[in-house]
Each structure stands twice: as structure tokens, then as C-alpha cells.
A and B are shown apart, each in its own frame.
Chain A
Amino acid sequence: MSSPHIFEGHGVGQTMFRVMAALVPGIIVYVIAFGPSILVSLAIASITAVAVEALMLKIRDYPVKPFVFDGSVLLTAWLLALSIPPMSPWWLIVTGTVIAVVFAKHLYGGLGNNLFNPAMVGFAALMISFPAYMTHWPAPMALTSAHLGFADQLSYMLTGSLPAGMDVDAINMATPLDTLKTQLHLHHTVSEVLRMPIYDVIGGKGTVWIAVMYLLGGIYLWRARIITLHIPLAFLGGLFLMAAFFYLKDADHYVAPWFHLVTGGTMLGAFFIATDPVTAASTPKGKIIFGLGIGALTYVVRVLGGYPDGVAFSVLIMNAFVPLIDAYTQPRVFGHVKQEEASR
């Protein structure tokens, strides 16, 4: 034994479970807005993730218990489940989770060694392979008369069948972000689009309230010193600046920047996904560059790209640059004259 002889003693597990706790308020509002089906998604993803993690650990000859209970795989499962549409069929959730845990995490060497955010790898794989399922979100309950009870939701997720006389289109609708994009393509102006019911207070703002809860959860993570604010603020800042720039240029075709902050995966991405320590930049300056990059790219994908949201792809793209960013942003060490680029 050698010094130090005392330890603060939060394990990896404690950290991960606190992050999950910070997600709970968002999930509660989610249930209120979209019905309890999200809980089923979370459960399916969690069970799959733990089972696959245990299997991979066995195969790779690691002790199963400490690693399963480090909580990291559950967090991955939750982030994936919260990123995909809430009433997704069970096999979609399972496929995404398996891809995240097996390919993005364990084939890279397991906890701490993966270059790409596992949840976002799972998300991106699903988005590319099953775009139809990934772009259809159920309408917020307040907006549809045809909304389903929990039993019907469950049966749809597990068997794909709906009650007689209902079809998928009756319960699904595009997300606010998606709608905006489609409508703008149809040559409506932003102000016309925003008058649609999906953007009104109880309807569209259902998603806004989820975003607000994620924001509060993120502030808790910051206060608990689990994350620093560099990445979230840079992310939000990058997105905001891009949106503001285009909005100021042409307010008819580009929506106001606040809209981007509260829709889609922005808040979840900024506070919970981009901050995944394993795959994020790690120096203070690096974190800012990393966050700004994700924010700016998210805007570009949303406005120009073919997908309704850009958080996942932006995170993955910036993940790839992390080693480079870190190497070139090493902070000045005490007693040294200036920062060094130690990589060279």
C-alpha cells in the first residue's frame, strides 16, 4: 500500500446511476406527453443491454459482476431508448442496443476504450437501416383523438398490431423539427408553419417541457460535479450562433434559434450524450471545441441534411476528432511557460 491512504470513493457505478437519476424528471414528462410506452422502451433496452454486456464480458473473460454493475451499459441503453421514437417495435430497440453494446463498446475494448458514443452508434445504425421506423413519432397525446391506451401501445410494440380500425398514420406524426423542415420545403414561411397545432403550448411544447427537464437534470450533473459545463454550453452556443446567423439573414426561411435549443435531441444531447466522458474531448479547451463542433454540425444536418435531427451524427463525427483535439489542447502545466503540444 502506498499513499494516498484515503479516497473520496464514488465508484464508476455511483456516477452512472446519478446520471440516470438526472434523466428521471425528463422521463416523467415524457410519459405525461407521449404515454407510458417509453417505459417499455427503456425496459427492453435495459434488459437487452445487461444481457449482452454480461455475455460479452463472459466471452472476453472479464469479471461480470463489477462491470455490469458499473452502470455504464444501463446508461447507454437509456440514452438510446430516449433517442428513438417511443413506440418503436421491440426488435428495433433490441437491434439498436445490441449494436451499441457489442460493436460500439466491446469490440473497441469495453468500458473506457471506445472511440464512439455507443448509444449514438446504435442510433445511427438504426437511422440508416430503418429510416421509416426512426422518423415516425407518435403524436403527443394532447394532439390526437386517436391515442392509444397502455395495453394497445404495448401490444403494438411487441406484436406490431393495432386495435381494429386504426392504422399507423393515425397515431404517428412527424416531430416539430421534422414538420418544420418538410413544411419549409413546401415553401411555407416559418411563421406560417409555427401556427400549426403541433407548435402550440400543450402540444408541441410537450417536447419543450421534456427538454426543460433534461436541462434541469444537466444542471444537477454540473452541481454534483459529474460533468463540467464546457461541452453543454459550447454545444448549445454553437447551435444557437449558427441558427441566429441564418435567422437574422432570413427569418422567413430559418426558424428562430431558441427553437433549435428546445427541439429534437438538443438538450439530451448537450447534457447527457455529448458529455459521455469516454468519447468526449477531455481538456477544457478541447471540450469547448468539441461542443461547438457538435452544435454547429447539428444545425447543418438539421437544415441541409436528409435526416430530421443531427445530434447523433454530429456527436459521432466529433468523436472521431477527439484524439486530435485532445493532443493539441493540452493545458499549460504549472511552472511551464506556455502550453505544449505534447503529441508531437
Chain B
Amino acid sequence: MRTLHTFHGGIHPPEHKSESNGRPIAQAPVPRHLVVSLRQHMGAPAKPLVQPGDKVLKGQLIGEPAGFISAAVHAPTSGTVTAVEPMTVPHSSGLPDLCVAIEADGEDRWAEHSPIDYKSASPQAVLDHIRDRGVVGLGGAVFPTHIKLQVNGKLETLVINAAECEPWITSDDLLMRERADEIVKGIEVLQHLLQPAETLVGIEDNKPEAIAAMARAAEGKGIDVVAVPTLYPTGGEKQLIKILTGKEVPSGGRPYQIGVVCTNVATVYSVHRAVNLGEPMISRIVTVTGNVRQPGNFEARIGTPVDELLQLAGGALPDTSRYIMGGPMMGTPLPNSGYHVQKASNCFIAASDSLFPPEPPAMPCTRCTHCAEACPVNLRPYELQWFIRGKNFDKARAYNVFDCIECGCCSYVCSSNIPLVQYFRYAKSELMERDREKRAAEMARQRSEMKQQRLEREKAEKAAKHAAAAAAAAKSETAEDKAAKQAAIAAAVERAKAKKAEPQNTENLSPAVQAEIAAVEERRTKSGEAVNEEA
């Protein structure tokens, strides 16, 4: 037995796993119409490579990564592209994203695809192979996997995140029960790439079947399957690493800084399919549960309409009023079911007011500190909400609002029903906006100073030219005139010189400005990371 560690706080919401984990994974039929978003991952959206009317094959690249943090997008089945335009996607912003609509031809014909022998290929070739197959983290943050696996230096621990701590979701559970061998094959790819000293699979102890299946498959592979206590948010990347290794990822930092790489179990399964079978990420396991007749798990193509999945689950019950993508703690609310499966869609929950009663109206905070006792990051949510309501954002920053992982524990326990997480999201976006503005203002100031200098230089040059011309003309003039003019010329040159001699601190940025920009950049990355990888 390993000694396990703990993190501060955490909660025990009702699990609601048994609704959906009783039946095996069912294959969802390939839908007639698919809508594939080009922003399925963290970072820049993929650049579309197809146009309406194009024929595509299953697994064909339809969007190529644009920029360093981006990922490839593939056609989930064969058919015809009917549109490439902005459409609504399940994202908390509610903003439309560029999507590729495909009408399936029913043949489901593969494009050419081939595996890679990862043992003989160079590590970089394997990473490129994974990148080109659009593999991203399936735990929720959808961070491009090939970037996560690019680690220089010695790796202590490879952590496979299979905690699945969010209530209602069982997709990882079922995947482990049914496909443990394939998962282990994926882990072996990662072990080969990263050469970790130890490999740990963390599974919450409310999934005994999954633990048994994984332990069986992992035997003799140098993989330690560890049952961790059921406590939300154990599946948070930093929380799970703490539990398994006792080490804390530094604030604003990345796990590799402490010698750890952490990957979600479904992602590892996709790595196996990408590397050993050559298949791009075009499907995933989705839990469909909540207010439906027959909750269960489905292996569905990316781009499958949510409505069709709901039908497979027996249909949503009549009093369903809204939907949640993801779990009830961190999931994205959806007003209706007119969306499509994304790589990030681990679960769709049909919600009714009786299953998910709306939160009662908020009362003033009584400083009961229940929120702080539940916070896995050890923040003081009541202090933060107080500052934020007073628009004292700098204070919120000083009280580490950017360390908030938006797990929702504080809102869950708050006895005054204060929507704390909403306050923190608001404060973060407000602070980031301010930082952006500050940076923009700084840049504008530099530009205007530069312009000012250029104008002055031109003026001085003009003055000198005039002076020279006058000097030429002066030859015919009286000595007295000459002397006066020469004095004027000298004065003009002097003036010009003096102007030039003024400090020119904008050609190279001053250390102060550079520091400021560096600080802003750091805050930006920090806030980006606040989006937590949730199992």
C-alpha cells in the first residue's frame, strides 16, 4: 500500500453514479448530420482545410492546428461537407465558433491511416504522430496532449487521472471496466516517451470494478493502480498529484516543474488508438444521464447531435428544462439540446427542477467559513466575494483569486447560497481585461513617444537643410547679414542637437516596462491555467 496524502477541504456531493454505470458502453450509430467545431481544444482554433461541397473520408484532416497551442480536427465519418461557418457550440461563453457541417454518406469509409511503431521511432516522431491525430486531454481542459508530453529532464511520476470525481459521470469508469488492456497499451506509449520512475493510476474507491479491471491489466507493467478516497475534487489535476505524491504544483506552475505529468485515462486510451492503430480522435465515450429514461454510456462520434444521444438514452423526460455538459459541479449549462458532441463532452445531463433544484436566493455572508473549510486550494472565498462585490479587484488578486480552480465546492456548501464561483470568474475576467488594457495603454504610449521622436528628428533635419540653403544664398549678402544668419544657423543646429540629446528611452524598453510586461504575461498564463483539468 502506498501512503496517500490529502489536500485541504473537499466535499461529498451525492454521487449518482449508479444511474448510468449499470449497462455496458453502447455504440451510437453514425448520425446523418454532424457538426464538428474547429475549436475543440484549448488554444487557437484549427484552420479549416475543406469547403462546402468537398467530399471527406473518415479520419481525414479537416482542420489543421494554427499556432503552437492548437490541435488538428478530423472528419468523424465519410460524407460531404455542407457548410463551414460559425455555429453554436456548447461553451460557457455562448458564442458561436467556426464549425464544419458534414452530411454522412453512410459508408463510414476510412481515409488512409497507419500506426507508428513507437518503440523504434524517435520520440519527436511519436509526438508529431499524436499531434497530427488531434489528441487532446479528455478530462475537461482539452489541452493538446503532444504539448503536455513534451518534457525535458527527468520525470519522477506519470499520473493517470482516472478519479472521475464529478457526480453523475461514469464514462471513464465504463471505459476502464471494458477496455483496460487498451488503456494500459496507451500508458505504455507514455512510459516509453517519458521514462517515468513510477507510473500511478489514481481511481476513486467508489469504482471497485474499474480498479479491479485496471489492476489486472496493469500486472507486470510497472503500473501501480491506486484506489484513492472518494472526495470531490480529487480528480483535479493538482489535487490528485498531491494525493498520490504529496507534492504541490506551484501556484501558476505546471506539473512537470515538480517532475510529474498527469494525463486523463480516456486521453491515454486515445493515445493508444492514435499510436497503435493510427486512428485520429474522432469519437469518445459520453455519459448520458439525469432526467432521461435509460441513462448509460455511448461511444459517439465527435459532432453527433445531443438530441440523438438523448434518444438512445430513452429520451429526456417531459419535465426536462435544461441540460448540463460535464458534471453538476463544473459543467457547462446548456439551455436546450441543440448541440453536438465535442472532444470535451464527457457527459450530458438532462436537468429538471426536481433533480436539480435552483439555488435559493442569496443572503448576506455570515462569515461562517464553511466555504473556506471546503476549498481545496485553501482560499478564503468569503473574503474574496466581499472584495469583489466592492469592486476591489486588486485585493481579490492579493487574496489569490487566480489560484481558484472553479471547482464549485464553496458555492456548494455556502449556507447563504451566495454564487461564489460566479464572483470569482467575474473577478478573473475583469482583472485579465484590466491587464490587457494596461498593456494596450502602455503600447499606445510607446507608439506615440516614438512618433513624437520621429517628428522631432524630421524637424531638426529640415532646419539644418534650410540653414544650409540659406548659407549658400548668404554668399552674396553683406557681412552683417551673413553673421546674423550664421548665428541663426548655429542656433538651429544647436537646438536640433539638444533635441536629439534628450533621453531616448523608448527605443529599447526600460527595465521597468519590461518587468511590467513580464508580470502581465505571467498573470495571463496563470489565469489560463486556472481552468482545471477535471477528471
Q: How far is the CA of A142 from the CA of B171 in the complex (A)?
A: 69
Given contacts A112-B364, A282-B369, A335-B250, contact A7 B411 (CB under 8 A): yes
Given contacts A72-B366, A335-B253, contact A3 B373 (CB under 8 A): no
Is B382 among interface residues, defined by CB-CB distance under 8 A?
Answer: yes
For A342, the chain B residues whose CB sits under 8 A away are 395, 398-400
Is A110 among interface residues, defined by CB-CB distance under 8 A?
Answer: yes
Is the Cβ of A282 less than 8 Å from the Cβ of B361? Answer: no
For A112, the chain B residues whose CB sits under 8 A away are 363-367, 416
Is B328 among interface residues, defined by CB-CB distance under 8 A?
Answer: yes
The 0/1 profile, CB within 8 Å of A marked 1, for residues 60-92 of chain B is 000000000000000000000000000000001
The 0/1 profile, CB within 8 Å of A marked 1, for residues 358-394 of chain B is 1111011111111011001111101100000000000
For A334, the chain B residues whose CB sits under 8 A away are 7-8, 238, 242, 248, 251, 376-378, 403
Is A12 among interface residues, defined by CB-CB distance under 8 A?
Answer: yes
List residues 403-428 of chain B with CB under 8 A from any CB of chain A.
Answer: 403, 406, 408, 411-417, 419, 421-422, 425
For A332, the chain B residues whose CB sits under 8 A away are 378
Q: How far is the CA of A283 from the CA of B381 in the complex (A)?
A: 12
Closest B-chain residue to A283, C-beta based? B380
Query: Using a Cβ–Cβ cut-off of 8 Å, how many residues does chain A contribute to the interface with B?
Result: 41
Query: Using a Cβ–Cβ cut-off of 8 Å, how many residues does chain B contribute to the interface with A?
Result: 66
Given contacts A7-B417, A15-B415, contact A2 B333 (CB under 8 A): yes
List residues 59-82 of chain A with CB under 8 A from any CB of chain B.
Answer: 66-67, 70, 72
Is A10 among interface residues, defined by CB-CB distance under 8 A?
Answer: yes
Is the Cβ of A4 less than 8 Å from the Cβ of B412? Answer: yes
For B229, the chain A residues whose CB sits under 8 A away are none
For A67, the chain B residues whose CB sits under 8 A away are 363
* Neighbour of A66 across the interface among B249, B363, B380, CB < 8 A: B363
For A225, the chain B residues whose CB sits under 8 A away are 370
The 0/1 profile, CB within 8 Å of A marked 1, for residues 333-372 of chain B is 1000000000000000001000011111101111111101
Is the Cβ of B329 less than 8 Å from the Cβ of A333? Answer: no
Closest A-chain residue to B365, C-beta based? A112
* Neighbour of B368 across the interface among A2, A277, A326, A331, CB < 8 A: A277
* Neighbour of A335 across the interface among B238, B356, B408, CB < 8 A: B238
For A336, the chain B residues whose CB sits under 8 A away are 250-251, 400, 403
**Closest beta carbon of chain A to B92's beta carbon, Å:** 7
Q: How far is the CA of A67 from the CA of B361 in the complex (A)?
A: 11
Is A31 among interface residues, defined by CB-CB distance under 8 A?
Answer: no
Q: How far is the CA of A336 from the CA of B419 in the complex (A)?
A: 26
**Closest beta carbon of chain B to A317's beta carbon, Å:** 19
The 0/1 profile, CB within 8 Å of B marked 1, for residues 319-344 of chain A is 00000001000111111110010100
Closest B-chain residue to A230, C-beta based? B369
Is the Cβ of B248 less than 8 Å from the Cβ of A66? Answer: no
* Neighbour of A3 across the interface among B249, B398, B421, CB < 8 A: B421
List residues 247-280 of chain A with CB under 8 A from any CB of chain B.
Answer: 277-278, 280
**Closest beta carbon of chain B to A119's beta carbon, Å:** 15
* Neighbour of A6 across the interface among B13, B377, B425, CB < 8 A: B13
Q: How far is the CA of A228 from the CA of B373 in the complex (A)?
A: 10
Is the Cβ of A4 less than 8 Å from the Cβ of B380? Answer: no
Is B167 among interface residues, defined by CB-CB distance under 8 A?
Answer: yes
Q: How far is the CA of A146 from the CA of B167 in the complex (A)?
A: 65
Is A111 among interface residues, defined by CB-CB distance under 8 A?
Answer: yes
A332, A335, A337, most chain B CB atoms within 10 A: A335
Is A195 among interface residues, defined by CB-CB distance under 8 A?
Answer: no
Q: How far is the CA of A334 from the CA of B249 in the complex (A)?
A: 8
Is A155 among interface residues, defined by CB-CB distance under 8 A?
Answer: no
Q: How far is the CA of A17 from the CA of B412 in the complex (A)?
A: 20
B332, B415, B422, most chain A CB atoms within 10 A: B415
Is the Cβ of B408 less than 8 Å from the Cβ of A4? Answer: yes
Is the Cβ of B398 less than 8 Å from the Cβ of A335? Answer: no
Q: How far is the CA of A336 from the CA of B251 in the complex (A)?
A: 6
Is A185 among interface residues, defined by CB-CB distance under 8 A?
Answer: no
Is A183 among interface residues, defined by CB-CB distance under 8 A?
Answer: no
Q: How far is the CA of A3 from the CA of B366 in the complex (A)?
A: 22
Is B457 among interface residues, defined by CB-CB distance under 8 A?
Answer: no
Is the Cβ of B363 less than 8 Å from the Cβ of A70? Answer: yes
Is the Cβ of B369 less than 8 Å from the Cβ of A277? Answer: yes
The 0/1 profile, CB within 8 Å of B marked 1, for residues 101-129 of chain A is 00000000011110000000000000000
Is the Cβ of B380 less than 8 Å from the Cβ of A7? Answer: no
Is the Cβ of B421 less than 8 Å from the Cβ of A12? Answer: no
For B368, the chain A residues whose CB sits under 8 A away are 15, 226, 277
**Closest beta carbon of chain B to A184's beta carbon, Å:** 39
Is the Cβ of A5 less than 8 Å from the Cβ of B324? Answer: yes
Given contacts A4-B412, A12-B415, contact A333 B400 (CB under 8 A): yes
* Neighbour of A330 across the interface among B92, B242, B322, B399, CB < 8 A: B399
Q: How far is the CA of A29 from the CA of B369 in the complex (A)?
A: 32
**Closest beta carbon of chain B to A224's beta carbon, Å:** 12
Q: How far is the CA of A335 from the CA of B7 in the complex (A)?
A: 11
Q: How far is the CA of A288 from the CA of B92 in the complex (A)?
A: 41
Closest A-chain residue to B363, C-beta based? A12
For A283, the chain B residues whose CB sits under 8 A away are 372, 380
For B471, the chain A residues whose CB sits under 8 A away are none
For A11, the chain B residues whose CB sits under 8 A away are 360, 363, 415-417
**Closest beta carbon of chain A to B246's beta carbon, Å:** 13
Is the Cβ of A278 less than 8 Å from the Cβ of B366? Answer: yes
Is the Cβ of A4 less than 8 Å from the Cβ of B363? Answer: no
**Closest beta carbon of chain A to B42's beta carbon, Å:** 18
Is B331 among interface residues, defined by CB-CB distance under 8 A?
Answer: yes
Is B330 among interface residues, defined by CB-CB distance under 8 A?
Answer: yes
Is the Cβ of A331 less than 8 Å from the Cβ of B412? Answer: no
Given contacts A70-B363, A335-B250, contact A2 B416 (CB under 8 A): no
Is the Cβ of B365 less than 8 Å from the Cβ of A282? Answer: no
The 0/1 profile, CB within 8 Å of B marked 1, for residues 293-325 of chain A is 000000000000000000000000000000000
Is the Cβ of B250 less than 8 Å from the Cβ of A7? Answer: no
Is the Cβ of B363 less than 8 Å from the Cβ of A111? Answer: yes
Is A132 among interface residues, defined by CB-CB distance under 8 A?
Answer: no
For B379, the chain A residues whose CB sits under 8 A away are 333
* Neighbour of B411 across the interface among A4, A15, A226, CB < 8 A: A4
Closest B-chain residue to A10, C-beta based? B415
Is the Cβ of A12 less than 8 Å from the Cβ of B416? Answer: yes
Is the Cβ of A6 less than 8 Å from the Cβ of B328? Answer: yes
Q: How far is the CA of A306 from the CA of B379 in the complex (A)?
A: 42
Q: How far is the CA of A155 from the CA of B377 in the complex (A)?
A: 58
Closest A-chain residue to B368, C-beta based? A277
Is the Cβ of B248 less than 8 Å from the Cβ of A8? Answer: no
Contact surface of B with A, Cβ cutoff 8 Å: 7-8, 11, 13-14, 92, 167, 238, 242, 248-253, 322, 324, 326, 328-333, 351, 356-361, 363-370, 372-373, 376-380, 382-383, 395, 398-400, 403, 406, 408, 411-417, 419, 421-422, 425
Q: A226-B368, A283-B380, A332-B378 are in contact. List 20 more A-B contacts (CB 8 A).
A: A3-B328, A3-B406, A5-B324, A6-B13, A6-B328, A8-B13, A9-B357, A11-B415, A12-B366, A67-B363, A70-B363, A112-B367, A277-B367, A277-B368, A282-B372, A282-B383, A331-B380, A334-B376, A336-B403, A340-B400
Q: List 20 A-B contacts (CB under 8 A).
A: A1-B333, A2-B419, A2-B421, A3-B332, A5-B351, A6-B14, A7-B411, A8-B13, A8-B413, A11-B415, A112-B363, A228-B369, A277-B369, A282-B372, A282-B383, A333-B403, A334-B251, A335-B249, A336-B400, A342-B395
7 smallest A-B Cβ distances: which pairs?
Answer: A4-B408, A112-B364, A335-B251, A277-B368, A5-B328, A334-B377, A342-B398
